[in-house]
Structure 1
Amino acid sequence: MIKAMKDFFAKSFQFRGRATRKDYWIPTVSMFLLTVLIRLLKMPRRWEDIMGIISILPSLSLTSRRYQDAGVSGWFQLPQLLSFLLLPLIFMDFMKKWMKAVIITIVALLNMAGFILTVLPGDKDHDNGGEVR
């Protein structure tokens, strides 16, 4: 686990290459649990903000490598990230209910696709430590 977290931060600027599911999920779940711990301990909100700022670039590069391992360009996370810019529209009065539903559906579908890409198996010889089955 410690190695996975070291790699998470050490490879912050490495957007090429591959990351196995284990390489991806250990830091992702660890950062999530750290956020939960911060909230449970009722620490100041700035600790959570600092953690988010520190982890944004490593998270983007890790996701890019994970997508590439699953056989998709790392750029696929761009529409996924940009979809969140649509969310403020659902709180605007001029938007019709059906428009809000479409926006929520688009954001949800893009993020479900991103989740699915992170759980797909990667390159067979990469996931098995170089052994081809």
Structure 2
Amino acid sequence: MFKAYKYYWQNAFKYKARSTRADYWWPVLINVIIFAILITITLLSIGNSAYDLTLTYSNYRLFPMSFMVITIVFGIANIFPSISISVRRFRDAGISGWAILAFWLISLILTSGNSSILQATAFAVNIIELVIYCLPTDYINKHGWWSPNYNDDVRAPSLQNTNKE
């Protein structure tokens, strides 16, 4: 689990590689746990600082603001690793990494309106994206959709590589 998270950060800018399902889902789980802890601490400290404000405590903003900053910095730091692991996961399933951009743009366009039909369509697009994240290695290549060019793949450390050695 922690090895996959280490690979997540090491491969933050490697887009021409592949990531297995385990390489993708362990970092997602760890990031959800970290964000949940940071947000919970932030919300609890905001509640405590509101109580301290009634007692005229002078440094009531320092603690919640520090956790807000930590949460924001952690979120910003995860942008490139999240994009790269998504691209690698799509490539491993047999879809071009550019499909990520298409899925995100479609979701962004569909959720920008107030129509419930557009919202439902965006939800369906997100479910399709989730299914692709869950597909096994080379699933689409083996079952005949299309075959992207993988001649220029870069070998990146992953859980798949350590099991074979």
TM-score range, shorter chain: 0.7 to 0.9
Give how far 1:89 is off. Answer: 2.4
Give how far 1:48 is off. Answer: 2.1
> For residues 1-42 of structure 1, what are the alpha-carbon distances to aligned partners after superposition, in whole Å with 9 as ceiling and x for unaligned?
222112111111111121110000010110011111112212
C-alpha distance in 1 between matches for 2:71 and 2:121: 28
Q: Is the 8 A contact 2:110 2:121 kept in 1?
A: no
Give how far 1:127 is off. Answer: 5.6
Q: Does 1:117 align with 2:140?
A: no
C-alpha distance in 1 between matches for 2:24 and 2:119: 26
Alignment of 1:1-133 (within 5 A): 1-42=1-42, 43=64, 44-82=67-105, 83-90=107-114, 100-123=115-138, 129=163
Question: What secondary structure is seen at the aligned counterpart in 2 of 1:109?
Answer: helix
> 4+ runs of 1 displaced by more than 3 Å?
126-130
What letter corresponds to residue 32 of structure 1 in structure 2?
A: V
Query: Which TM-score applies when normalising by structure 1?
Result: 0.79
**Aligned residue for 2:143?**
none
> For residues 56-97 of structure 1, what are the alpha-carbon distances to aligned partners after superposition, in whole Å with 9 as ceiling and x for unaligned?
11111101111111111111111222222443322xxxxxxx
Question: What secondary structure is seen at the aligned counterpart in 1 of 2:113?
Answer: helix
Structure 2: segments with no counterpart, 5+ residues: 43-63, 140-158
RMSD: 2.2
Identity of aligned residues (%): 29
What letter corresponds to residue 105 of structure 1 in structure 2?
A: A
Structure 1: segments with no counterpart, 5+ residues: 91-99
Query: Which TM-score applies when normalising by structure 2?
Result: 0.65
